[in-house]
Amino acid sequence: MSNVAKFIEIRQHIESLAEHITVSGGQKVISESSQKLNEATKLLAKLTDMADNDVQEVVVERLTGLLARLETKVEALTTKKRIVKKQPAV
């Protein structure tokens, strides 16, 4: 039973990190978002190893998709936009 309790605890922590990533991403705090995303990814790897039934595997798939979407958003924030200077009208 402690395995299930630990699984739930890690799942809740990942969901909490995902919420923080969403909030900090909205405020464009890139370094904090990246750090929390890395932590959540490590926890997800641990959770994947712990999954031993269908319900837990569904949770892992859902969290994998969630973190993939968040990673895309964080990467979009980190890529620098190309600045194009306007040419003076002659």
19-36: pLDDT as tens digits: 998 887 666 777 888 899
pTM: 0.79
Structural contact between residues 30 and 56, judged by C-beta atoms closer than 8 angstroms: no
Instruction: For residue range 37-75, list pLDDT tens digits in order.
Output: 999 999 999 999 999 899 999 999 999 999 999 999 888
User: Contacts from 86-90 at CB under 8 Å and sequence distance 24+?
Assistant: none
Closest CA to 46 of 73, 17, 20, 21: 17
